[in-house]
Amino acid sequence: MTASWPELQQQFSDLKVAARTLRLDRTWGTGTTEHWFTICEDQLAKQRFEALAVLAAQLIQVSGGLDLGDEFSPPPDLLHMWYQVVWHLVGPTNSPMYGQAWNDGKDMGSVFSSSIYKLAEASAVAALKLQALLPPPKPAVRQSFWKRWVVPVWDKFAIPIIVTVVGGLILLWLTTRK
């Protein structure tokens, strides 16, 4: 069973007290590779948040995905996908810090760093926004034996069977007629 956006939004909101110290740090730029870090004093709250984040990312995939543009590198897993979604929809809490990366006196490029504090609350806001942005996932429809096997076979072979039977009856009638 897949969770819904209202359920996820409520569960992220329910985490705000236990995960009040949960924050997401992001470092990016031309002088570094993109890095995402979460920090939280309560490890159980962090684990619960990460499980909810993976469920939310799965729901995005089931709903057809979300275009985040070229702002982020492809996520390595569902957890990082959720980090990118929250960053894109809610945004960082503070303005990015800027720096230059140097290696042996050579300028390696720009480095930026910023954070989202109260990540559980930011995730609840992102879930609410996604409820408005994405269509609800289509429920899995279980087909009956009749619809799954009989109807397709009938659709494919009905006319040849009817033509064969009618032709056989006509041929039988013609050969038995005196």
Separation CA 101–CA 31 (nearest Å): 5
Any domain includes 165 = yes
Evaluate whether 99 touches 110 at the Cβ level (below 8 Å): yes
Any domain includes 35 = yes
Separation CA 121–CA 125 (nearest Å): 6
- Per the structure, the complete domain to which residue 93 belongs is given by 5-133
Evaluate whether 75 touches 81 at the Cβ level (below 8 Å): yes
Stretches where the chain sits below pLDDT 70 are 1-2, 137-141, 178
41 lies in the same domain as 94:
yes
21 lies in the same domain as 102:
yes
118 lies in the same domain as 159:
no
- Burial state string for 11-49 with b = 16 or more CB within 10 A and e = fewer than 16: bbbebbebbbebbbebbbbebbeeebebebebeebbebb
117 lies in the same domain as 155:
no
Fill in the amino acid letter for 8: L
Can you give the pLDDT at residue 166? 87
Any domain includes 34 = yes
Strand order in the sheet with 106-117: 35-39, 23-28, 106-117, 97-103
24 lies in the same domain as 75:
yes
- The tally of domains found in the chain comes to 2
116 lies in the same domain as 33:
yes
Over the stretch 128-161, which tens digit does the pLDDT of each residue have? 999 988 877 666 667 777 777 777 777 788 888 8
29 lies in the same domain as 113:
yes
Any domain includes 138 = no
Any domain includes 111 = yes
Can you give the pLDDT at residue 30? 86
Separation CA 5–CA 125 (nearest Å): 10
